[in-house]
């Protein structure tokens, strides 16, 4: 029995995204195609992979077992493709990213790169976007994923909507200044939040100003106020409160993948492609 990688990819998407429809959207296929692909996979493995619970399709024991193997097979597939695309790479890549992406699936992508190119040394910096851009400009980093506009002439990787987030039980009384949980200056999210509130003539106060995104999330989880972030990796227990408190729209923020062009670095070129694919795949 040879398992079809495309079908395994569909299986992983259907389970991770909690539905055939969402998997279809993610894979740019129709729900019918996903349904038929998974049915064919069930016939091939000779066991049901999903069972219906109400309107939902949940994985059976066989589905869970196959899911674990599917992840490993897809991971191996990615590593094989990656290794073939960049044979004989060596040297070092100094890569910087904001906390939001360090908490998402990006470290997994970096680990895949490291396994596929054992001769390449990867140094990773997790810091604020403004700091990372400065380090890139100084030549201290080779590749930087950061929020906000940069000097890099290449178009942004994406433009992400910025939203307000808070604990579901956080309340905001009418007329009360909006307690803001923000990173210190310079920060594009901080500026967007303050500008939007000023424009809407909503009173606000800084309830917490920190250099750490983790501190912002902790304060939000404790119900100390609201924060403005892009919907990249929102911790469990926090929710979007744009509508609940009728907060002003925050617009979009650029996500830039910038590279140090002053030195030739094939490994950085290669990692850039991989990060680009991973981020685009994650953001849909």
Partner DNA sequence: TACAACCAATACGACCGTGC
Partner DNA sequence: GCACGGTCGTATTGGTTGTA
Beta carbon of residue 284, minimum distance to DNA (angstroms, whole number): 15
Beta carbon of residue 33, minimum distance to DNA (angstroms, whole number): 3
Work out whether 31 is an interface residue with DNA (CB under 7 A): yes
**For residues 132 and 80, what is the distance between their CA atoms, to the nearest angstrom?**
31
Question: C-alpha 227: how far from its chain's center?
Answer: 18
Work out whether 9 is an interface residue with DNA (CB under 7 A): no
Q: Please report the beta strands in the chain, taking only residues with DSSP state E, as ranges in sequence order.
A: 50-53, 56-59, 91-97, 120-126, 143-147, 158-166, 178-183, 204-210, 227-230, 239-240, 252-259
Work out whether 77 is an interface residue with DNA (CB under 7 A): no
Crossing angle between the packed helical segments 20-27 and 5-16, to the nearest 10 degrees:
120
Work out whether 56 is an interface residue with DNA (CB under 7 A): yes
Nearer to DNA, 14 or 145 (CB): 14
Nearer to DNA, 2 or 151 (CB): 2
Nearer to DNA, 29 or 270 (CB): 29
Question: Is omega for the bond preceding 186 within 30 degrees of 0, making it cis?
Answer: yes
Work out whether 47 is an interface residue with DNA (CB under 7 A): no
Beta carbon of residue 218, minimum distance to DNA (angstroms, whole number): 32
Q: Which of 12, 15, 26, 57 binds DNA (CB under 7 A)?
A: 57
Beta carbon of residue 177, minimum distance to DNA (angstroms, whole number): 35
Q: Which of 8, 11, 29, 113 binds DNA (CB under 7 A)?
A: 29
Query: Who's near 4: CB < 8 A, 6+ residues apart?
Result: 40, 41, 44
First-to-last alpha carbon distance for the chain, in angstroms, is 32
Cβ contact 220:166 at 8 Å: yes
Nearer to DNA, 52 or 88 (CB): 52
Work out whether 32 is an interface residue with DNA (CB under 7 A): yes
Where does this chain bind DNA (CB under 7 A)? 4, 6, 19-22, 28-33, 35-40, 50, 52, 54-57
């Amino acid at each position: 029995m040879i398992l079809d990688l495309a079908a395994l990819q569909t299986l992983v998407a259907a389970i991770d995204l909690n539905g055939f429809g969402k998997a279809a959207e993610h894979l740019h296929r129709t729900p019918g195609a996903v349904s038929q692909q998974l049915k064919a996979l069930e016939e091939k493995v000779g066991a049901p992979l999903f069972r219906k619970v109400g309107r939902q399709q949940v994985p059976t024991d066989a589905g869970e077992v196959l899911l674990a193997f599917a992840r490993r097979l897809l991971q191996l597939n990615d590593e094989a493709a990656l290794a073939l695309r960049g044979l004989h790479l060596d040297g070092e890549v100094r890569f910087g990213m904001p906390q939001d992406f360090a908490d998402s699936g990006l470290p997994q992508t970096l680990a895949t790169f490291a396994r596929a190119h054992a001769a390449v040394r990867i140094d990773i910096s997790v810091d604020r976007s403004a700091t990372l851009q400065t380090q890139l400009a100084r030549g201290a980093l080779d590749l930087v994923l950061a929020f906000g506009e940069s000097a890099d002439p290449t178009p942004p990787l994406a433009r992400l909507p910025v939203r307000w987030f808070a604990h579901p039980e956080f309340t905001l009384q009418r007329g009360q200044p909006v307690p803001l949980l923000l990173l210190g200056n310079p920060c594009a999210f901080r500026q967007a939040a303050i500008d939007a509130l000023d424009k809407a003539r909503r009173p606000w106060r800084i309830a917490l100003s920190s250099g750490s995104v983790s501190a912002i999330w902790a304060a939000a989880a404790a119900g100390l106020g609201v924060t403005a972030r892009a919907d990249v990796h929102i911790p469990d227990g926090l929710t979007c409160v744009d509508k609940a408190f009728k907060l002003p729209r925050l617009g979009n923020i650029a996500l830039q993948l910038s590279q140090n062009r002053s030195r030739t670095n094939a490994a950085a070129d290669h990692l850039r492609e991989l990060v680009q694919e991973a981020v685009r795949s994650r953001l849909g």
